[in-house]
A and B are shown apart, each in its own frame.
Chain A
Amino acid sequence: MEYFTLFMGAVIVNNFVLTRFLGLCIFFGVSKSLSASVGMGMAVASILTISSALAWLVYNFVLVPYDLVFLKIVVFVVLIACFVQFLEIAIKKFAPALYEMWGIYLVLIATNCVVLGVPLINATANYGFLKSIINAFGSGAGFALAIILMASLREKLQYADVPKSLQGMGIAFIIAGMLALSFLGFSGMIPL
């Protein structure tokens, strides 16, 4: 039950994009088309889960025993960048079709707030291994949910008559505001 609460909390109540504002660059950049958003959401969710697991191992078996906790930012950034780079090379070699589909997103993910933020939150909150992974997967799923909803709205928006000065980014932000407003309705559902 505890894990379920944690998962649902990460998906909707504390949605990373709409209540904590992480990963906005990708959120606004990619949400123009629905198919790209689905790909991006899945890529973020899977990379987030794996890199959080790696970060947890490094944090608890290297940084904490040697009293190097203050280096966690440097270590996590390098770790995630290396992991994503490695993944890119591996996918390019073994699954070229998948690389065609996901390749461009991987580069964008390498230095992204969400992917760095979740391991840092896990480290600060002292979550155990399973909890870290559940939190990371929930956050990734929340990101995917938000970006897919946003893309569906923006695709419909192409047929709307938007004032000229608000076209593009302006209206995208306002729609995100409305979406955040509706997600605010979930707050208080799960006590923190």
Chain B
Amino acid sequence: MNYWSIFKKGIFEMNPIFRLALSLCPALAVTSTVFNALGMGLSVLAVITANNIVVSLVKNYVNPKVRVPVFITIIATIVTLIILILEAYFPAVYKELGLYLELIVVFAIILARAEVFAMKNDVLPSAVDGLGMGAGFALAMVFIAVIREVLGTGMILGGTSLAIQIFPQAYDGPMIMILAPGAFLVIGLMIGMFNLIAEYQNKQAALKAKTACQQLAVQRGEAG
């Protein structure tokens, strides 16, 4: 398997949030603004990649029976490091995300990738897998956050120097979108949308297969 397909798989067919429905807590909690979503997405990208590298390096020295506690300790160490770095260099991000950064430790997706991928593969593919999964996670987070922030406040990256006004200044959006219920509603509708797309694709694929079969039958008929 080449590296590009390993990377791509995390973004599309195995997207952690929309496809696997793993690690939903942060997807709901910190997507009220794009800034927070981006900060969280990049932190998770860093943790998942670093964890995959470390796990694939130590995999031959860990007794399979105690692997889960070992993995959790590795993840907790990496998360602590990331938090200390953020606290020192990006205090704004640290202040906004606070508790949710600490809870990266228990994200199912990180442990799942260590268990499913890094445990069985070499360092380089594991790193690429981590990058792909992390990128898929970050993209999904930003995607949700864009919808919520634009509908709720009418702008993207509000409160930072990069603020972009999408709707006119007078737009008085429904506050609910950036409050808790909005998160549930947006994600519910998005899951529905992805299901619709998948259904359409399956239908198209079935149609294609059917015509191909018919063509084959016609060809055989001609040959016979």
Q: CA A163 – CA B195 in complex, angstroms?
A: 11
- Residues of chain A contacted by B193 (CB below 8 angstroms): 165
Q: Is the CB of B80 within 8 A of A173?
A: no
Q: Is B221 an interface residue (CB 8 A)?
A: no
How does the 8 Å CB contact mask read for B126-137 relative to A, with 1 for contact and 0 for none?
Answer: 000000000000
Q: CA A124 – CA B99 in complex, angstroms?
A: 9
Q: Is the CB of A169 within 8 A of B185?
A: no
User: How far apart are A85's CB and chain B's nearest CB, in angstroms?
Assistant: 9
The secondary structure that dominates the A interface is: helix
**Residues of chain A from 95 to 144 with CB closer than 8 A to chain B in the complex:** 111-113, 116-117, 120-121, 124
User: How far apart are B74's CB and chain A's nearest CB, in angstroms?
Assistant: 10
- Residues of chain A contacted by B99 (CB below 8 angstroms): 117, 120-121, 124
Q: Is the CB of B181 within 8 A of A74?
A: no
Q: CA A18 – CA B185 in complex, angstroms?
A: 12
Q: Is the CB of B25 within 8 A of A113?
A: yes
Q: Is A24 an interface residue (CB 8 A)?
A: yes
Q: Is the CB of B196 within 8 A of A165?
A: yes
User: How far apart are B108's CB and chain A's nearest CB, in angstroms?
Assistant: 6
How does the 8 Å CB contact mask read for A168-192 relative to B, with 1 for contact and 0 for none?
Answer: 0111111011101101100000000
Q: CA A122 – CA B103 in complex, angstroms?
A: 14
Q: Is A19 an interface residue (CB 8 A)?
A: yes
How does the 8 Å CB contact mask read for A62-95 relative to B, with 1 for contact and 0 for none?
Answer: 0000000011011001100100000000000000
Q: Is B76 an interface residue (CB 8 A)?
A: yes
Assuming the A-B contacts A74-B80, A77-B76, A181-B176, are A112 and B188 also in contact, with contact meaning beta carbons closer than 8 angstroms in the complex?
A: no
Q: Is B85 an interface residue (CB 8 A)?
A: no
Q: CA A19 – CA B25 in complex, angstroms?
A: 11
Q: Is the CB of B179 within 8 A of A113?
A: no
How does the 8 Å CB contact mask read for B177-199 relative to A, with 1 for contact and 0 for none?
Answer: 00111111101110111011001
**Residues of chain A from 1 to 42 with CB closer than 8 A to chain B in the complex:** 18-25, 28
Q: Is A166 an interface residue (CB 8 A)?
A: yes
Point out the residue from A77, A176, A178 that lies within 8 Å of B106, measured CB to CB. Answer: A77
Q: Is the CB of B199 within 8 A of A73?
A: no
Q: CA A181 – CA B184 in complex, angstroms?
A: 10
- Residues of chain A contacted by B11 (CB below 8 angstroms): none
Q: Is the CB of A25 within 8 A of B188?
A: no
**Residues of chain B from 73 to 96 with CB closer than 8 A to chain A in the complex:** 73, 76-77, 79-80, 83-84
Question: B-side interface residues toward A, CB under 8 Å?
Answer: 21-22, 24-26, 28-29, 69, 72-73, 76-77, 79-80, 83-84, 98-99, 102-103, 105-106, 108, 111, 176, 179-185, 187-189, 191-193, 195-196, 199
